[in-house]
Every structure is written in structure tokens, then in C-alpha cells.
Amino acid sequence: MLERERAKWFAHQHYVGLNGTNYHFLHELTDEHLPDLQFTRYNNLFVARPANAYLETSVVRKPRRRLFGDFWREDELVLLFADTGLGKSALAVQIARALAGGEKIEPFEMQTDPQRVLYFDFELTDEQFTARYSDPDTDATASSDASDQGNPERLFPLNFIRCAPREDWDVPEEFEDLHNFIVHSIVDTIQFVEAKVVILDNLTWLSASTENTVAAQRLMRMLLALRNRLGLSILVLAHTPKMRGGLPIDLTHLQGSKMLANFADNVFAMGRSSNSPDLRYLKPIKQRNSAVSFDEKNVPVMRLGKQGRMLGFTFVGHEPESRHLEGHLHGAALTEAIRRDRITRAVELANGGDTFREIAEKLGVGVSSITRFLKDDEAKTPILAPPCAGCADTTARRKNRDIRQRGQGAK
């Protein structure tokens, strides 16, 4: 209690707005204070200024330089999502290598000089990472010795810094829970390394249940606070639920989609091509700070492969997304396929215990649409298969009643 009172006294004495006014002692806002308003208090979340102040030259942000074309620029929090096994980690490592070494990945423009890049790897173990970026025909010991002696063929720039969790660890007593310990560890490492570019691979490890709305909010708010407080450019990798072939990628394919996307500046996805097992394409899903340079009619297509020890992508060309979708659906057939996909996803979330409102947020549609989706599905099949033939009617009625109650509770 004493420490809190001391902090309050210090804030009253020293915590003032940018115009020099201490708003802890200014209890009434008069018209004469409006031109220079910079309201801020230690115990208040908000900073208040006249709207015109944000348009003045002195407060306009400098142009955000491209890190990976228009998909990722400086000072942005960006999400890249894809199905498991498509190569999003390989692309993230390739981006980190390019930014650390100053060589762009064609055709994606990079406007920054070589800089330190901090790559948090929660996906691969040290052994897996080493195996992925090693030449199986080269003796590992000999390669390591050559690198220690300054071999110019070192695969990664020194500015590319990878960090992974220790194998054996417990949450120290001074931290309330695992989340606080992870946040502290991330911030501590970033500040020590003094990196301004951070890649987090992947979201699932950071939040054990990103499908949960509360967990997603907590996670993304933490990342936004880090971006704003430390001036970071952050790329976060995320998984999707198992994607069904033949459908264009949209925001509903992102796991925990609606809430995660609301906090991100940009969202883009990696899709699998039906034309070849090693072809992928990138599609922008949401772009806040720049004009969309790609869309479903013009996606960059890349080929995944290994060149020497480096696993990465090479650019093939720009093509419509539809050319890479299994079945090439168009018009009414495509619309119906998308609708059926959303119905299937809504049923999966309902069976998982989500309310109608939570399902609507994740699929980016209205609550009334979710009600129709589940009624359409209920008319064809029960929401959940009964555990035995003799209890089919009872089980279906109970499950359908529970779903209706969840929907009514969300209204």
C-alpha cells in the first residue's frame, strides 16, 4: 500500500502531458485548454488530443518501409496462416534470413538495410532445425568447424538470431502464471538483443487455445503492446483448421479468426496448389496500411524446394487463385461450396461448446446466419452422431436443445 501511494505521489508530481500540463491537477477542461490538449494520467488508459493534432506534420508517421513487399511493413503486426505442413515456417526463416542479410526474396520489395532479426522458434527442436538446414552429404562436424573459422559460405547472417525454449524449465515463483512468464521472457530477450524485427513461430504454442475468444484477445493485446512500446515489426505464424480443397482462402480459415484479425494490421495466407505438390501461393486477406497489390485474381505463386542447404521458395509467377483450387468451382457452385464449408465449420464449433455469438465472430458472419446454418444442417443430419442406435432420438434432441439454448443465451 505504501509503495502504491509513493507511485501515485510521484506521478502527480512528474507525470505530465507533452504540452507540460499536469492533468492530475486539472479537474475541468475549459475552451482555453483545447488547442494544446494532451490529456494523460497515470491511472487512466487513454490519451486525449484534438483530432486535428493527429493530422499536423509534426505527428504524421514516416512512411513504413517494406520488409516483405506489401505483405509486411515496418511497425506492423502481421499474421501469416496456413495449413500444417505447407511450409510457412520455411518461408518465415527465409524472410528472416533476407532481412538480416539485406537480400530481398524476389519479387517482394525490401526497403530496409540489414538488421537484427529475432526468431522465436516454438515449432522445431534444435535437432530438427539443424537437420532441415544441413546438407546430408556433408559431415556436420566438419561444417561446424569451418563455420567457426569464418567460412564465407555460412548459411545464415549473424544478424539472424534464433531462440527456442529450454528443454527443462518451470515457471519461477515471481510469476503469476505461464502467460506472464512467457511475456516476460519474450520482452527480456527482445530488449537484450535490441532487435526491431521479431518473428513468432507459432501462435498455437503462445496460446494453448486460440479458438477461445478470451485467450485470443489476451494474446493479441500483448503483442500490440509490445509493438507500440518497443517499436517492433512483428510477424506471427498461425495454423488453420484442416482446410477443405476447392475453396478460396478467406478469413474464416484462420483458427480463432475474427478476434485475431481484428488486432492485426495485415493478414495473409499460404495456400496449397492442386497443380503440383511443391507449389504454394500467397493471398492477402486483410491489409490496413497499404493498398492491396494482390487479390484472388493475381496471387504470387512459389515453388518450395531445397537449394544446397537452404529450404525455401522461388518465385514462379502471378496467377488467379482459381487455377490452383481443386475442381475450379465458379459462380453458383462456388457460392454453394463456401456456404457448405461454413455450415460444416459452424457445426464443428457448436459441437465444441461455442455459443452462436462466438461462432459468428470466428466465421465473420451474423448470428442469424449461424442460426440458419445449424438449422440447415439439423434438417439433414443430427448435430452429433448418437453413441448407439437405440438412443438416437434422445441424443439428437438433447444436442439440438443445447445448441438452441446456447443461441438464445447469446441474443
- Sequence-ordered list of residues with C-beta below 8 angstroms from that of 368, at least 6 positions apart, any chain: none
Residue with cell 502481421: 78
Chain segment 254-304, per-residue pLDDT in tens = 766 667 788 899 999 999 998 899 999 999 998 887 766 667 788 999 999
Confidence of residue 366 (pLDDT cuts 50, 70, 90): confident
- For position 257, what pLDDT does the model report? 60
Confidence of residue 179 (pLDDT cuts 50, 70, 90): confident
C-alpha cell at 319: 496467377
343 compared with 324, residue with greater pLDDT: 324
Tell whether the model's pLDDT for residue 205 goes beyond 60.
Answer: yes
> What 8-state DSSP symbol labels residue 39?
B
Strands (E) located in 27-76 = 66-68, 72-73
CA distance 86 to 93: 14
3-state secondary structure 239-272: ECCCCCCCCCCCHHHCCCHHHHHHHCCEEEEEEE
- Sequence-ordered list of residues with C-beta below 8 angstroms from that of 38, at least 6 positions apart, any chain: 17, 18, 19, 21, 47, 48, 49
CA distance 272 to 324: 7
54 compared with 105, residue with greater pLDDT: 105
Confidence of residue 158 (pLDDT cuts 50, 70, 90): very high
- For position 118, what pLDDT does the model report? 97
Identify the weakest region by mean pLDDT among 64-73, 121-130, 232-241: 232-241
C-alpha cell at 198: 521479431
Largest Cα–Cα distance in the chain? 79
- For position 147, what pLDDT does the model report? 43
> Looking at this protein, which amino acid is placed at residue 142?
A
- Is the Cβ–Cβ distance between 16 and 23 less than 8 Å? yes
Tell whether the model's pLDDT for residue 15 goes beyond 80.
Answer: no
- For position 364, what pLDDT does the model report? 67
- Sequence-ordered list of residues with C-beta below 8 angstroms from that of 181, at least 6 positions apart, any chain: 171, 172, 175
CA distance 153 to 346: 51
- Is the Cβ–Cβ distance between 351 and 321 less than 8 Å? no
Domains plus CATH for the chain? 2-59 (no CATH), 66-138+152-324 (3.40.50.300), 331-410 (no CATH)
> Looking at this protein, which amino acid is placed at residue 225?
A
> Looking at this protein, which amino acid is placed at residue 228?
N
Backbone region of residue 246 per phi and psi (left: phi > 0; alpha: psi in -120 to 50; beta: other values): left
C-alpha cell at 162: 534464433
End-to-end CA distance of the chain: 42
Identify the weakest region by mean pLDDT among 102-106, 109-113, 327-331: 327-331
> What 8-state DSSP symbol labels residue 383?
S
- Is the Cβ–Cβ distance between 358 and 352 less than 8 Å? no
- For position 330, what pLDDT does the model report? 55
pLDDT over 90 percentage in the chain: 36
